[in-house]
Amino acid sequence: MSSYDDSADGAGPAPEEANSPARVGTVVWGLTVVALAALLIISRLGIVALNGTYVLIGLMIGAGAALIIGGLLSARRRDNNPTTGKS
């Protein structure tokens, strides 16, 4: 017996679609990191004096709200797809 399985002739499960939309969490956390980096650069240049605690609290509130809203919209979009009647 070997651990090699040569039954992968294309009849197995299909890979994920290449054009699937980006996940909400990935987009929100990416935007959070970019916003934090931009605020750090602005504060280091001396353009604006920022309080780090308030900035962090604001970013976390915004990211949390975006994750909740994005998740609700994603679930709503998923529920609108027609069902095939199979379970």
Helix axes 52-79, 24-45, angle to 10 degrees: 160
pLDDT value of position 85: 63
Q: What are phi and psi of 8, to 5 degrees?
A: -85, 75
**Which two tokens mark 67?**
């994750």
Q: Give 7-59 pLDDT, tens digit per residue.
A: 555 555 555 555 667 788 888 889 999 998 998 898 889 888 888 889 889 99
Does the predicted TM-score (pTM) go above 0.85? no
Name the nearest CA neighbour of 62 among 31, 87, 84. Answer: 31
78 or 53, greater pLDDT: 53
Burial zone of 45 (CB within 10 Å; 0-12 exposed, 13-18 middle, 19+ buried) = exposed
> So where are the chain's domains?
24-79
